[in-house]
Amino acid sequence: MSSRESLPVPFFDWRALYAERADAYSRIISDTAAMGGFILQGAVDAFEIGLEAYLDAGHAIGLSNGTDAMLLGLRASGLKAGAEVILPAHCFIAAAQAIHFAGGRPIPVECSPDDGLISPEAVEAAITPATGAIMVVHVNGRVCAMDQILEIASLHRLPVFEDAAQALGARLNHRPAGRFGAWGAFSFYPSKTLGSFGDAGALVTDDEDLARRVKAMRNHGSGPDKVIPADCAEWGTNARIDNIQAAILAYKLNWYDETIARRREIAARYDAALRDLEPLELPPSLDAEPGRFDIFQNYEVRCDRRDELRAHLLAHGVGTIVQWGGVALHQFRGLGFDQRLPLADRWAARSLLLPMNHLLSDGQVDRTIDAVRRFFA
């Protein structure tokens, strides 16, 4: 057995995430704890300043997770009770949950056949007098067709919000994900391209008043002095980012572009080695569309024999994931969704995530490629 064949390829190696720079992480955790900087201290400020600079944003607010970032963003934006919010069916349920708990009604629509992102044509077709906003979700590290969506939103005078949880650093025409709409929400779940060692998130915006409201909301309605004033008019909650997570994220931002470069390198190798396999549909290649910069949070392939392929890869030591358990948003019938969306159905039934993260070795990438090619041989 060759060294390539004996090298296991877990879908994500959680221990390696810490071991990569264990000395630095241990120091950051120890120093933060030794200073007693546990809640909304200097590390949070440093992370927010770093994220603002990275995204050229007026304001970045560190929050407990990406779902809370969307929930607080919707509340601060004044979403009306019962307002419909259009979002893609091919996305994680978190965006719909945020809409629901903000008092809105999530309306899932079809995905585009080439990349699975929200279809601008489907967005326009779903607009009704009850529509209150459009929520795009930048899936797999790729920015949605924002020029068309913003044009549609402007025509109908609708705000656009962004779930950019999978897309920190992705760009379209030099504009980063999260910077097209009124605000963008990010998740720093450990397996994200910029991952913490627990839960963490952020909201970015250029709207000073919205930023002020979200900062108050994350800490029970308190002001900059962390005191809840007697004239408080903001129903807040506890959605603070953990100080230790903020310190780790501030450090990781310094070399974040290196992790993106490695992901793009792996994606290019997958593309070159698998593009000729006609039964297998790959994501758009790196240079398929000028002006795009995809970060490959995931590498999502599709085929009719998805479950057989997955079993074959597992038997050859390669871990995979069926994104979101193979359930598209509109398929959660128990939550009241009743849409008929055949394209999204097809994506859910055929898609599979190959291993994709900057911790993969060249040998692990080669083994994944070999195993996929054997299946279709």
Give me the pLDDT at residue 12, please.
Answer: 95
Q: Enumerate the H helices of the chain as residue ranges.
A: 3-6, 14-19, 22-34, 42-55, 66-76, 94-101, 120-126, 146-156, 208-218, 243-253, 256-274, 306-315, 342-350, 362-376
Rounded to whole angstroms, the Cα distance separating 148 from 122 reads 11
183, 224 contact by CB (below 8 A): no
**H/E segment holding residue 163:** strand 160-163
Indicate the pTM of the whole model: 0.95
pLDDT digits (tens, 9 = 90+) for 169-228: 999 999 999 999 999 999 999 999 999 999 999 999 999 999 999 999 999 999 888 899
Divide the 377 residues of the chain into consecutive groups of 10 and give the mean pLDDT of each group: 66 94 96 90 95 98 98 97 98 98 98 96 98 98 98 98 98 97 98 96 98 96 90 93 97 97 98 96 90 97 98 97 96 96 97 97 97 96
How many Cβ atoms are within 10 Å of 342's Cβ, its own excluded?
Answer: 8
pLDDT at 2: 46
- The tokens of 61 are what? 């607010």
- Outline where 134-255 has alpha helix (H): 146-156, 208-218, 243-253
Q: What is the pLDDT of residue 6?
A: 63
User: What would the pLDDT profile of 111-162 be if each residue is shown by its tens digit?
Assistant: 999 999 999 999 999 999 999 999 999 999 999 999 999 999 999 999 999 9
**Burial of 99: CB neighbours in 10 Å, binned 0-12, 13-18, 19+:** buried
**Structure-token pair, residue 91:** 């996305």
Return the pLDDT at 1: 39
- Identify the pLDDT of residue 287: 80
Domains of the chain, with CATH numbers?
3-15+256-376 (3.90.1150.10), 19-253 (3.40.640.10)
